A and B are shown apart, each in its own frame.
Chain A
């Protein structure tokens, strides 16, 4: 049997997070995604990357590549209550994971930053841009084409 009073206390606290008015449309989807991420983090932890132990201070250390805001959160965690500590550690891990994912995206961005990709990217986006702003896109594409032609001329001149 659950502690009835505790359930009511928890519900009162949690209801503040749902707020007034309608239940947000994506609330349960977001909660489901968060629990998925938490499971992923847990599986990483169980795989040995961050061993489970108590007290948490030495065991939930951020990686060497973690940004300072993650390190700051992790440093605060041991001084918080049990439930807050768990949430702070999870938030830190999520932020660290996002930082990790972003670092991959930055690498990919550097690969696709050649002029031809930018041109195709603009062409792909063009139909979804407001008609009165498409001239600007066309102008950009023309500039890119001219720049490309000039580069080719320059390369050809150097090879002579």
Chain B
């Protein structure tokens, strides 16, 4: 799990990210481990303001951020996270 996270965080795209956002993503990756899905969403919610501050996170970085979340979550919450994001997209017609 940690190996995945390290590989992702070393990605070139993350180097252009604002330091506080990178720090937030590292925090999320660390704190989200072992969390249930409601706890995981509450945690993500608490970092939303930081993640949305300043410049919007570019597409590639957003992709890597999701990879960090997926690689840090346990199997069951990861599956729920994936399904929920797809469902929200289906119900809202995409963000």
Contacts and interface: CB of A to CB of B under 8 A. Distances in A.
Genuine A/B complex: yes
Interface of A: 1-2, 4, 7-8, 10-12, 14-15, 17-25, 27-32, 34-36, 38, 86-87, 90-91, 94
A31 B44 CA distance: 11
Contact of B3 (A1, A29, A34, A36): A1
Given A1-B3, A8-B67, A11-B63, A30 B92 contact: yes
B70 interface: yes
Contacts of B95: 17-19, 24, 27
Given A23-B51, A27-B95, A35 B37 contact: yes
A42 B91 CA distance: 19
Nearest to A15: B63
B84 A38 contact: yes
Given A18-B95, A19-B95, A86 B66 contact: no
A22 B66 contact: no
Interface in B38-69: 38, 41-42, 44-45, 48, 51-52, 56-57, 59, 62-64, 66-67
7 contacts: A14-B86, A18-B62, A30-B88, A31-B41, A31-B81, A34-B83, A38-B83
The dominant DSSP class at the A interface is: helix
A22 B56 contact: yes
Contacts of A10: 66-67, 70, 82
Contacts of A94: 87, 91
Given A11-B64, A11-B66, A30-B88, A4 B83 contact: no
Contact of B84 (A1, A23, A24, A35): A35
A21 B66 CA distance: 15
A35 B4 CA distance: 26
Contacts of B8: 7-8
Contact of A17 (B1, B67, B70, B89): B89
Given A10-B70, A17-B94, 17 more contacts: A1-B3, A1-B4, A2-B4, A7-B4, A11-B66, A20-B59, A22-B56, A29-B41, A29-B45, A30-B88, A31-B41, A34-B88, A34-B91, A35-B38, A38-B83, A87-B86, A91-B87
